[in-house]
Structure 1
């Protein structure tokens, strides 16, 4: 009976075999090992597109519902379901659609679709125990709906640790920091050749914690500090029927712009009326037009792709220019690495506090031998520098930023 490890990520998902080999599950994508965790329901079709085809279909014609970051809503009691094409989709059904497509894509490489899975989960979906339990319950149900008959969970930083452990020739006490799109998880764990074959690794875990900081929040800081004024932040508009009364752009509208997948929640009649009022009465008419088109033409995904690309360039360059030209939006914003790091300082400070908090709770474990960083945001220079300053450059290590968790989950599935 085929078994696997599956990393269901906020941005990407990946599947690996018990030997740690990560399978190609996304033919035609830039990295075929990564399955984009996105769904697109076109307005004029009943078919649901997922992964890279969903992005291509959306870019051809954005009319419809584009859904990303399903994982980040699993803990939310306020998001139970959504209506699409007159059908109510539960959040676990949306997650199941993605898990099923990944499972089916792996089938040709495994002699059949896997039935047993070690599924990754964050150290904390939420600091609220009830919300955390709800998220795991929903993810388990999603995996069952996707066709898995046996589901076992493993905390994602532990999975990353097992990936790192495969290369060790001596035992180490390792701090693993796994930077996902939605969360950062940290685990302090004993790893090495003397422990590699143990069926149960619970005793090797000294401590684990998590925080809701990931790549999406770093993208949001670029939007907040560099781009929001281009969409009307700080502007005012005239209240309907009151010629001398002006109001600022509603804060809830500006807040939703910090996360592209939440922009669809403000495409409602009441908000549309405000945006239309701004078109005719804003003291910044060009910005009002840009805001209207961004929201009503569903351009958030494309804008945040440009933001993410700029962030990636700042990992190797001191400055970059973020360009975006769609509808009535024309952006050409110079962003320096120094600006980005200053905007990200609250996130970096929170990471410092979470890291120090874990180390204080595990003070009796001894000196940390190595720090293993994985996940997309581990490539941000300020993030890496945070750990180098704390532990020294010689102890900070990285491997494949995007598949380490999947590899470790695959290795853990050998026990099934």
Structure 2
């Protein structure tokens, strides 16, 4: 029975063999080991696209339903299903569609579609125990629908730890920080040659925790700090029937702009009427036009791709420019790394508090020998600095930011 490790991520999914090899399941993509966790349902055809082809098809014709970050809704009891092209899709069905496509893409490398899987999960889907259980139940059901018959779970920071452990020549006490798109997970764990062969590593885990801070929230802070005024934040519009009454743009509209996939939830009739009223009477007409086109032309995904690109540039540059020209939206916004760090200050504070809280609960375990950072946001200089200032540059280690978890899950599958 073919076994694998599968890292189903908010942004990307990866699958690995028991020897830790991460498989090239997305040929033609910039990194073929990463399968984008997105789905596109075009309005004018019955085909359903996933991964990189879904993005390409959506950008050609974005009038259908584009679904991203479905993992971030697994814990939500209020999100049970959605209607797409006349069919009810349970959240388990949407996740299963992605897992099935990944499983099928792995088949040529595994002698047939793998049936046994070690599936990653966050340390905490949610701080609410019932919501956390619900999320894992849904993920298990999705894996079953996708065709996996033997399913085990492993929290993602432990998987990342197993990836790091493969290179160790001595035992260490390691703090692992895994920065995903939706969450950050931290685990303090004993690793090394003397423990590497144990099939059950639970006794090696000293402590773990998680927080809902990830790459998506760093993107949102760029939107909040630099771009919301370009879409009418702080502007006013005239109320119909009153000659001199003006109101500010509602906060709930602005808050939905902080996450591109939330924008579709404000395209209902009442919001469209409000946006049209703002077009007529806003004291900032250019900004009102930009807001209308952003929401009604469904341009959120394109904008947040530009935001993410700037965030990545700021990891290696002191300044970058966000260029975005679509419809009546004309953005050419310079952003410095210092501005990005100021915008992200509350997130960095929360990460520091969560890290210190874990260390305090694990007091007595001994001195931390190394800190292993993985995941996209581990490349943000301010995030790395948070740990180098606490532990020293020489103790902070990194590996492949995007496939360490999948590699570790694969290694865990060797003992299934």
TM-score range, shorter chain: over 0.9
Look up the match of 1:379: 379
Q: Indicate the RMSD between aligned Cα atoms, in angstroms.
A: 0.6
Q: Distance in 1 between matches of 2:29 and 2:266?
A: 31
Q: Distance in 2 between matches of 1:243 and 1:33?
A: 60
Q: Distance in 2 between matches of 1:272 and 1:140?
A: 39
Q: Distance in 2 between matches of 1:56 and 1:345?
A: 34
1:241, distance to aligned residue in structure 2 (A): 2.5
The residue correspondences of 1:212-291 to structure 2 (distance < 5 A) are: 212-291=212-291
Look up the match of 1:20: 20
The residue correspondences of 1:31-180 to structure 2 (distance < 5 A) are: 31-180=31-180
Q: Distance in 1 between matches of 2:388 and 2:212?
A: 22
1:242, distance to aligned residue in structure 2 (A): 2.5
Q: Secondary structure of the equivalent of 1:56?
A: helix
Q: Secondary structure of the equivalent of 1:242?
A: coil
Q: Distance in 1 between matches of 2:102 and 2:280?
A: 47
Q: Distance in 2 between matches of 1:347 and 1:174?
A: 23
Q: Distance in 1 between matches of 2:67 and 2:368?
A: 40
Instruction: Summarize deviations over 1:334-385 as a string: whole Å, max 9, x none.
Output: 1000000011010000000000000000001000000000000000000000
Instruction: Summarize deviations over 1:297-338 as a string: whole Å, max 9, x none.
Output: 111111000000000000011111110000000000010000
Q: Distance in 1 between matches of 2:241 and 2:44?
A: 38
In structure 1, runs of 5+ residues without a counterpart are: none
1:267, distance to aligned residue in structure 2 (A): 1.2
Q: Secondary structure of the equivalent of 2:55?
A: helix
The 4+ residue runs of structure 1 with deviation greater than 3 A are: none
Normalising by structure 1, what TM-score? 0.99
Instruction: Summarize deviations over 1:94-152 as a string: whole Å, max 9, x none.
Output: 11111111001000111100111000000000000001111101111111111111111
Q: Secondary structure of the equivalent of 1:365?
A: coil
In structure 2, runs of 5+ residues without a counterpart are: none
Normalising by structure 2, what TM-score? 0.99
Q: Secondary structure of the equivalent of 1:151?
A: strand
Moved more, 144-153 or 236-245: 236-245
Instruction: Summarize deviations over 1:237-285 as a string: whole Å, max 9, x none.
Output: 1222223221111111111100011111111111111111111111111
Q: Distance in 1 between matches of 2:276 and 2:404?
A: 47
Q: Secondary structure of the equivalent of 1:136?
A: helix
